[in-house]
Each structure stands twice: as structure tokens, then as C-alpha cells.
Structure 1
């Protein structure tokens, strides 16, 4: 199971399985994991199996899909019965 890089300062007792990953994309040798539970995107280095960076976002209720293009995160959600796409800068 992947682990967090110690320099990230993740809360004690929390591990990757707490993050409820609902989407992912890959870019530049890294895998980005969308966490519905904590409104976060985790940057996974598959070679070391460590989460090396965490990006937070706000304003969505049901994030379920992630795409990355031109340095931006595109997060698909279901809001009030409608599908929406939110765009977040890194």
C-alpha cells in the first residue's frame, strides 16, 4: 500500500486507505488520486509508492472523476441532480 512522504505532515494515524479514492489520472510519471472523503488530490510516485504532494480543493459535494490538462485539475461532480465540472489550478 502506498504511504505518505514524511515531509507532508499528514495527521497522525491517517493513511491512504482513509482517503476514499474515486478517480485518478496520470501525468509526467505520477498518478493523481482524487479523494472524495477529504476533497484532495494525492500525487503518487509509483516508483517509490509514496504520496509526494497533496492538493486540496473546495466547493464540490460529490467529486467522482479526475482529469488533468494544461496544468489544471478537472473534477467532475454531481451537484443538485446535475453533472458539473470544476477546474482547479495546482
Structure 2
């Protein structure tokens, strides 16, 4: 018997879709782990979100700050801006 490829769960599909929407909303031409991370953080039922929240991380702060950072010149790689 050969091992089968793991199948994505519905939650996985939703996170990937949400990551694409986040990237599109920020006018990014790619979907990176930062977009997926934000999508995960926005899912209150995800294990990572629950762990972060139980560790004292303010999820609302992450949701607010991550897009702002992703919109910054230093994130976009514009030299001399925000370095």
C-alpha cells in the first residue's frame, strides 16, 4: 500500500481563500505566509489563535497591526523608507 497525499480540510480551504482575499485587499501580487497568518488569526476557532490568545496576545492588536505593517514601505522593500 502506498501512502496517500493528505487532503486539505474545509478550514484549510477557507484559510487559503481568506489569505487570497487579504492579499487582494492590500493590492499585493502574491499570497505569502503573512497573509495566511492573518487569515488564521482572524479565525477565532483556529488552534493558533486560541494559543496566542491564551498566552496573552491581544488578537485585535494583531488584526489591526499586521495589515498596517504589510502596507509599510519597509515591508514593500522600498529603499530608504521605514528602515
Q: Specify which structure has the bigger relative contact order, considering alpha-carbon pairs within 8 angstroms and separated by 6 or more residues.
A: 1
Give the TM interval when normalised to the shorter protein.
Answer: under 0.3
More helix by share: 2
More strand by share: 1
Q: TM-score, normalised by structure 1?
A: 0.25
Q: TM-score, normalised by structure 2?
A: 0.26
